[in-house]
Amino acid sequence: MSKPTSASPAAGAPAAQRRRFLAGLAAGVIGTIVAVVPTIPGIAFLLHPLLKKKKAGAAEGDGYVKITTVEAIPKDGSPRAFPVQMDIQDAWNKYPDRQVGSVFLSRNEDGQLKCFSCVCPHLGCTINYEEKAKLYLCPCHASSFKLDGERENQIPPRSMDPLEVRVNEKNEVEVKYQTFRAGTSERKVVS
């Protein structure tokens, strides 16, 4: 675009050139507006997962979920996997009482309960318990963990994720079910 130079020697040209420059400027500005504005709601829409505010009252109670009874957990300290059932909201649908994952529960001689998430902190596969080796083993990339959840090799970035556990007045075991970010040495809750 040629810049208007008020001192242009061409006769009659300065006014015409200025007009042309202003028309070009206006066309550029308005053109940009009409090109950009329609994309704004589109981009905001696509960014919805990052922009949305958590609905008030979405999480019911204190986050503890009933898993099983104390008696169902072996007394010898060996862990057992239990399914976690809760209501899930998947976009527009509400599914009542669906299995959302599982947890390992174990009980030592003193009756102390221990709970680990079955989700591998490495990359999110589901961990199995190997009875013979007395090890937790992830089938995906061979992460392995000892009975106390300590990592046994360097594949996972951190030890297994412990979950808070409590026994209610009906002798039922409740767990505060949470998911954590995979692949990081720091344990961060995914909300």
| Spatial strand order in the sheet of 165-167 | 64-69, 172-176, 165-167
| Shorter beta-carbon distance to another protein: residue 48 or 188 | 48
Spatial separation of the C-alpha atoms in residues 173 and 47, rounded to whole Å: 39
Determine the longest span between alpha carbons in the chain, in angstroms. 104
Total residues interacting with another protein, rule: CB under 8 A: 31
Cβ of residue 143: shortest distance to another protein, in angstroms?
34
Contact status: 154 vs another protein (CB under 8 A): no
Contact status: 24 vs another protein (CB under 8 A): yes
Cβ of residue 54: shortest distance to another protein, in angstroms?
13
Give the DSSP letter of residue 82: E
Give the DSSP letter of residue 189: B
Q: Is 57 exposed, middle or buried (CB count within 10 Å of its CB: 0-12, 13-18, 19+)?
A: exposed
**Using CB under 8 A, which residues numbered 88 to 107 contact another protein?**
89, 91-96
Q: Which stretch binds another protein (CB under 8 A): 5-13, 87-95, 105-113, 183-191?
A: 87-95
| Site residues, another protein (CB under 8 A) | 20, 23-24, 26-27, 30-31, 33-35, 37-48, 51-52, 89, 91-96
